[in-house]
C-alpha cells in the first residue's frame, strides 16, 4: 500500500499533470489539422514507441523484428541515441548483408551511438542505422545515400514531425496501473487519448498465456482509448541463454547458480523477475539509472559485492556495451533473451510489414 505522503504528493502534482496533458493534446491536434506539417518518406514507415516512460521492451521487440525480416529487405532504423555523442552529432551507419554482424556492432561504442543501438546494430541484416536527435534530417541523408524498403522509428510515437504508416505502442503488463497519469503525477508521457493513433498495441512481459489480474487491469484502462481498427497482442520474455562475456561460452546449467545482478535499465524489476523465474539465485541486485555509464566508484561497489557473496556478475545485453569486464574481479556473464507472441509471431510480423 502506498504511503499517505506519496498519495498527497500525487494530489499536489495533479494540476501540473493536467497542464502537461493539455499541451501534448494540443500539439497532436495541430499536426492533425496540418498547422504543423509532417514529413512523409517513400519507404513504409513504422513507429515503435510507448506512452509510458521507459521499460516497455522496445529494444527486445525491435531486435526480434530485425531478426525476422528477410535478408533482402533493406531496413533503416532511426534512433535518437540517448546520451550518446551522436544524439547531437548525427551519424549514419550503412549495413551490408554480407558483413560480419559481430564485428559491425563491436566497431562502435555505446558512448558513440548509444547502448541500445549497439544491440540493434548486431541484429540488423541489411540497411542502416541513423542516429540523431533531428530525425528528419538524418533520415533524409540516409535516403540520399541508399535505398531502403522499411523505416523503423525507435521510440517514435511522440515524434509527430515524421508521418508513419503504422504505429506500434508497447505496454509493460506488470506496471502499476495507479501510475497511469501524465507526468509528473504518473509515468505517462502524454494522455491515453493519444492511443487512438495506435494501430498495434503489444502488452509485454506477460507471465503466461493466462491473463493475470494486474494485466487485466491495465488492458481495461487502455482499451477504451483505442480505435476500432487497433489490434492487440501479448508477448512474454524468455531467458534464452547465459553466456560468459570474456570467453563467449554458454553456461549449460544456470538453475540455482548464484549471481550478483548489475543493471542500468529502465525496468530493473523486470530483469530480476525474469532471471528468478528461471531459478537463478539472486544474491544482490545493484541497479543504476537507465543509460548509466559505469565509473570507477561503481566498479568499486561491484567488486565489494563480488567479494562479499563470492559470486559472478550477471548483466543484461544492453549493459554489456558499457561495462568494462577488466575492472571487476571474477567472471562476468550476460543473459540473452528473446520474446514470444504465444504462437502468433507471423501475424505480428505480417501486420508490421503490411503483408
Q: Which residues of 134-170 are buried (b: 16+ CB within 10 A; e: fewer)?
A: ebeebbeebbeeeebbbbbbbbbbbbbebebebbbbb
Choice among 96-100, 112-116, 238-242 with the minimum mean pLDDT: 96-100
The structural domains of the chain, ordered by start, are: 44-234 (3.40.50), 238-337 (3.40.50)
Q: Which of 79, 48, 5, 37 is nearest to 339 (CA)?
A: 48
pLDDT in tens, 140-162: 999 999 999 999 999 999 999 99
Paired with 259 in beta bridges are: 282
Q: Give the per-residue pLDDT at 252.
A: 87
Is residue 1 predicted with pLDDT exceeding 50?
Answer: no
Average pLDDT, integer, range 254-272: 92
| CA separation for the pair 144, 162 (Å, rounded) | 17
Q: How confident is the model at residue 100 (pLDDT cuts 50, 70, 90)?
A: very low
Average pLDDT for the chain: 92
pLDDT at 254 over 90: no
Mean pLDDT in residue range 323-334? 94
Report whether the peptide linkage leading into residue 184 is cis, meaning its omega lies within 30 degrees of zero.
yes
pTM: 0.92
Q: What is the pLDDT of residue 355?
A: 82
What pLDDT score does 7 carry? Answer: 62
Amino acid at each position: 500500500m502506498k504511503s499517505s505522503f506519496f498519495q498527497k504528493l500525487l494530489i499536489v502534482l495533479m494540476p501540473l499533470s493536467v497542464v502537461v496533458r493539455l499541451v501534448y493534446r494540443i500539439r497532436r491536434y495541430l499536426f492533425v489539422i496540418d498547422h504543423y506539417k509532417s514529413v512523409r518518406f517513400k519507404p513504409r514507415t513504422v513507429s515503435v514507441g510507448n506512452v509510458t516512460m521507459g521499460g516497455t521492451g522496445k529494444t527486445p521487440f525491435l531486435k526480434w523484428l530485425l531478426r525476422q525480416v528477410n535478408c533482402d529487405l533493406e531496413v533503416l532504423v532511426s534512433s535518437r541515441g540517448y546520451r550518446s555523442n551522436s544524439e547531437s552529432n548525427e551519424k549514419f551507419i550503412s549495413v551490408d548483408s554480407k558483413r560480419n554482424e559481430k564485428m559491425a556492432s563491436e566497431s562502435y561504442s555505446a558512448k558513440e551511438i548509444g547502448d541500445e543501438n549497439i544491440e540493434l546494430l548486431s541484429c540488423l541484416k541489411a540497411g542502416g542505422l541513423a542516429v540523431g536527435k533531428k530525425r528528419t534530417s538524418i533520415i533524409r541523408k540516409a535516403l540520399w545515400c541508399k535505398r531502403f524498403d522499411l523505416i523503423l522509428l525507435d521510440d517514435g510515437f511522440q515524434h509527430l514531425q515524421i508521418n508513419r504508416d503504422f504505429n506500434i505502442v508497447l505496454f509493460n503488463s506488470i506496471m502499476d496501473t495507479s501510475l497511469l497519469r501524465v507526468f509528473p503525477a504518473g509515468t505517462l508521457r502524454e494522455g491515453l487519448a493519444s492511443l487512438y493513433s495506435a494501430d498495434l498495441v503489444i502488452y509485454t512481459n506477460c507471465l503466461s498465456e493466462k491473463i493475470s489480474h494486474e494485466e487485466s487491469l491495465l488492458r481495461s484502462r487502455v482499451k477504451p482509448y483505442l480505435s476500432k481498427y487497433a489490434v492487440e497482442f501479448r508477448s512474454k520474455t524468455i531467458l534464452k541463454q547465459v553466456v560468459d562475456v570474456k570467453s563467449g561460452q554458454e553456461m549449460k546449467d544456470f538453475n540455482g547458480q548464484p549471481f550478483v545482478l548489475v543493471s542500468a535499465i529502465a525496468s530493473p524489476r523486470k530483469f530480476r523477475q525474469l532471471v528468478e523465474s528461471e531459478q537463478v539465485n539472486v544474491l544482490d541486485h545493484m541497479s543504476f539509472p537507465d543509460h548509466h555509464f559505469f565509473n570507477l566508484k561503481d566498479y568499486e561497489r561491484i567488486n565489494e559485492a563480488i567479494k562479499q557473496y563470492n559470486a559472478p556478475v550477471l548483466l543484461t545485453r544492453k549493459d554489456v556495451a558499457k561495462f568494462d569486464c577488466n575492472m571487476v574481479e571474477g567472471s562476468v556473464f550476460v543473459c540473452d533473451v528473446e520474446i514470444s507472441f504465444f504462437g502468433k509471431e507471423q501475424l505480428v510480423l505480417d501486420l508490421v510489414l503490411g503483408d
